[in-house]
Amino acid sequence: MLVLGIESSCDETGAAIVQDGRYLLSNIVASQIEVHNRYGGVVPEVASRQQLTAIIPVLEAALEQAHCGWDDVDAIAATYGPGLAGSLLVGLTVGKSLALARTKPFVGVNHLEAHIYANWLRQGEQPQAGVGAINEGDPEFPLICLVVSGAHSELVLVREHGHYELLGQTRDDAAGEAFDKVARILGLGYPGGPAIQQAAQRVEEELRQQKKSLKQARKAYLLPRAWLRGTYDFSFSGLKTAMLHLAEGATGVAPELRSTGQAKQGSRYARMGEQAAQAGAPDVALLASSFQEAIVDVLAVKTRQAAQEYNVKQVVLAGGVAANASLRERLQRELTPLHVRLSYPPIEFCTDNAAMIASAAFFHLSRGERHGLDLDVQPGLSL
Would you list which residues are annotated within the binding site for substrate?
A: 147-151, 180, 193, 324
154 binds ligand KG4 (CB under 6 A): no
Nearest distance in Å: CB 107, Zn ion:
18
Contacting residue, 80, 106, 164, 179, with ligand KG4 by CB under 6 A: 179
Q: Which position among 8, 32, 48, 197 is part of the footprint of ligand KG4 (CB under 6 A)?
A: 197
Applying CB under 6 A, the span of 156-164, 264-272, 315-323, 357-365 interacting with ligand KG4 comes to: 315-323
- Which among 93-101, 146-154, 225-233, 253-261 is the span making contact with ligand KG4, rule CB under 6 A? 146-154
Of 95, 194, 249, 273, the residue at the interface with ligand KG4 (CB under 6 A) is 194
Cβ within 8 Å of residue 30, ≥6 positions away:
12, 13, 14, 54, 57, 58
Considering only 3, 351, 357, 361, the residue that binds ligand KG4 (CB under 6 A) is 351
Of the pair 166, 279, the CB lying nearest ligand KG4 is at 166
When asked if residue 106 is in the footprint of ligand KG4 (CB under 6 A), the reply is: no
Instruction: Establish if 191 lies at the interface with ligand KG4 (CB under 6 A).
Output: yes
Nearer to ligand KG4, 32 or 75 (CB): 32
- What's the full length of the chain, in residues? 383
Q: Quote the CA–CA distance of 76 and 92 in Å, as a whole number.
A: 10
**Omega before 127 cis (within 30°)?**
no
The three-state DSSP-derived secondary structure of 11-75 is CEEEEEEEECCCEEEEEEEEECHHHHHCCCCCCHHHHHHHHHHHHHHHHHHHHHHCCCCHHHCCE
Does residue 173 contact residue 262 with C-beta atoms inside 8 Å?
no
Find the binder of ligand KG4 among 91, 192, 273, 346 (CB under 6 A): 192
For residues 225 and 244, what is the distance between their CA atoms, to the nearest angstrom? 15
Q: What is the largest CA-CA distance in the chain?
A: 69
Backbone dihedral angles phi then psi of residue 168, each to the nearest 5 degrees = -170, 160
Q: CB under 5 to 8 A by kind: which of ligand KG4, Zn ion, none does 113 bind?
A: none
What DSSP state is assigned to residue 340? Answer: -
DSSP labels, 90-136: HHHHHHHHHHHHTT--EEEEEHHHHHHHGGG-B-SSPP-SSSSB-S-
Q: Compare residues 244 and 288 and give the one whose CB is closer to ligand KG4.
A: 288
Q: Is 32 in the site for ligand KG4 (CB under 6 A)?
A: no
Our finding on whether 319 is near ligand KG4 (CB under 6 A) is yes
Positions that interact with Zn ion (CB under 5 A): 149, 352
Burial class (CB in 10 A: 0-12, 13-18, 19+), 69: exposed
Residue 7 interacts, among ligand KG4, Zn ion, none and using kind-specific CB cut-offs from 5 to 8 Å, with none
Q: Which does 176 bind (CB under 5 to 8 A by kind): ligand KG4, Zn ion, none?
A: ligand KG4
Q: Check binding of 233 to ligand KG4 (CB under 6 A).
A: no
323 makes contact, choosing from ligand KG4, Zn ion, none, with CB < 5 to 8 Å by partner type, with ligand KG4
**C-alpha to C-alpha distance for 139 and 120, rounded to whole angstroms:** 7
**β-pair type (153-160, 143-148):** antiparallel
List interacting residues with ligand KG4 (CB under 6 A).
10, 149-151, 176, 179-180, 191-194, 197, 319-321, 323-324, 351-352
